[in-house]
Amino acid sequence: MVRIMPVDRLSDEDVREILTRYRKVALVGASPKPERDASDVMRYLLEHGYEVYPVNPRYGEVLGRKCYSSLLDIPDDVEIVDLFVRPEFTVEYVEQAIEKGARVVWFQFNTYNREAFKRAKEAGLVVVAHRCMKKEHERLVSY
């Protein structure tokens, strides 16, 4: 049976609005390793003026920014939660995103989890899925 991947049904205009309206990003699964896409995307977002809060219990600091174990430890509002963790870890972070009052949950490639997606939607968050924040920014904002 062919499984149809759910899509976020957002238009280019919607995604552009998300990328320009919100500036505070928690990047979950942050890594100092240059070979990790999370590292490349975090660097890009910092270069483009976003406030980025790395989240990964393994590290105290990533790319010179204090790294947090939980979204709830971040001493600032968080608007976008950008997920770079395996699908099984996304549910707990979506719960934290809801508690933290985030506006958007962004599932990068290979992070999609049906339960997490559904939970975020039900809580009224905007959900972006199967897209890359960097790629979408390049395509829609900084072209």
Q: Which amino acid is at 72?
A: L
Calculate the alpha carbon distances from 136 to 12, 45, 56, 122, 141 in Å.
Answer: 9, 11, 24, 25, 8
d(CA 16, CA 51): 17
The contact mask relative to ligand COA for 53-72 (x = CB under 6 A, - = no) is: --xxxx--------------
Question: If binding means CB under 6 A, how many residues of this protein chain bind ligand COA?
Answer: 23
Closest CA to 128 of 1, 2, 25: 25
Q: In this chain, which of 1, 7, 33, 124 binds ligand COA, going by CB under 6 A?
A: 33
Stretch that binds ligand COA, among 12-20, 44-52, 74-82, 108-116 (CB under 6 A): 108-116
Which residues of the shown chain bind ligand COA in the complex (CB under 6 A)? 28-29, 31, 33, 36-38, 41, 55-58, 84-86, 89, 108-111, 132, 134-135
